[in-house]
Amino acid sequence: MTYEELLTQTALADDRFIVMTAENRALVRNIPGKLGNRFIDTGITEQTMIGAAAGLALRGRIPVVHALASFLTMRAFEFVRTDAGVPNLPVKLSSFIPGFLSDGNGPTHQAVEDISLMRGIPNMTVFAPADEQDLVMMLPEIWKHPHPSYVRINTRKTDHQHSPFKLGKAEIISKGDDVTILTYGLLFEQALIAVEILKNEGLSVGLINLRSLKPVDEQAILEATRESAITITLEDHFVTGGLYSIVAEVLLKHCQTAKVIPMALKDKWFKPSLLPNVLEHEGFTGKQIAEKILGYNTNAYQPEISIPQFSE
């Protein structure tokens, strides 16, 4: 099932749902004709859309709002914080092309501080699915929860078969003594490749798909960092405020020490290009990730990375 099919099916079955967009219809092109006046496009007005979503939620609706991740989280930040966060209204933020998924757009469109911003808002929950199957698995739980949520939308298809989603629980793909990779979102795809390469080099490798960054699965983080010699946090986000920071907070809270190495954007925006080039240039292909962990180059094969098919 696709994101759009799930949203359509959910909204048709439950008239509390309102689908909104600030003129970013990429994910919802077929919905207008199906939902009648429960599809609302406010135009290029992220702030007003969020305020209006709060007003709709006040009347018992569940608004699922769509905009580009950078504008939804940054231009409308205070509206998200003040109009959805303070009153704890179930405004559901569907954030389009977050992280490296805004491959060619340039810094204006790069949401690489969104996790940091959104998790800083009381009442807000934060999710980052690994692919479309993961997304479709987690959304019903998230949408029925009575809190505002932020979802880093990722509609890419992978071959991975995910396990059922449980709110606040990470997906443990494998456990390993030598190294565990903690990751979320788009880079899960590359982490799978990296894990294969590392295993072929003889390492015992763990892989965890965090899924939910707030609430975060503290137990999974504590166990992984305890059981592995090295833990890698892998994310298409600034190193500050994202998963690396979350892991640091969890370890400190539980008085646990661990060797944790961040793989993230180090205080700069990424070079715009098509996704495969971006990943290669920034050092985030599966092969590059594995080789950084190993400390040497290999002859491993890097599978082709597909170019995103969507547009604004």
* Contacts to other proteins by CB under 8 A: 37-38, 40, 42-43, 45, 47-61, 63, 78-79, 82-83, 86-87
Tell me how far, at minimum, the Cβ of 113 lies from other proteins, in Å. 21
Q: Of the two residues 37 and 161, which places its CB atom closer to other proteins in the complex?
A: 37
Q: Shortest Cβ distance from residue 11 to other proteins (Å)?
A: 13
Asked if 234 and 207 touch (Cβ cutoff 8 Å), the reply is: no
Give 58 or 252: the residue with its C-beta nearer to other proteins: 58
Q: How far is the CB of 60 from other proteins (least distance, A)?
A: 8
Distance CA 215, CA 197 (A): 31
Nearer to other proteins, 55 or 215 (CB): 55
Rank residues 17 and 238 by Cβ distance to other proteins and give the closer one: 17
Considering the complex, what minimum distance in angstroms separates the CB of residue 311 from other proteins?
24
Nearer to other proteins, 83 or 282 (CB): 83
| Nearest residue (CB) to other proteins, 15 versus 312 | 15
User: Cα torsion for 221, 222, 223, 224, to the nearest 10°?
Assistant: 50
Nearest CA among 115, 166, 114, 170 for reference residue 138? 166
Query: Tokens 């070079």 — which residue?
Result: 271
In angstroms, give the least distance from the CB of 101 to other proteins.
27
**Cβ distance to other proteins smaller for residue 1 or 58:** 58
Closer CB to other proteins, 57 or 197, in the complex? 57
Concatenated DSSP letters of 173-194: EE--SSEEEEE-GGGHHHHHHH
Amino acid at residue number 24: N
Minimum CB separation of residue 52 from other proteins in Å reads: 4
Residue 287 to residues 9, 99, 101, 200, 283: CA-CA distances in angstroms? 39, 20, 19, 12, 9
First to last CA, the chain: 21
Nearest Cα neighbor of 264 from 184, 203, 155, 179 is 184
Shortest distance in whole angstroms from residue 90 CB to other proteins: 13
**Rounded CA separation 134/150 (Å):** 15
β-pair type (179-183, 230-238): parallel
Could you give the angle at the alpha carbon of 208 between the alpha carbons of 136 and 137, nearest 5°? 10
What is the spatial distance between Cα 109 and Cα 112, in angstroms, rounded to a whole number? 9
Least distance to other proteins, CB of residue 153, Å: 22
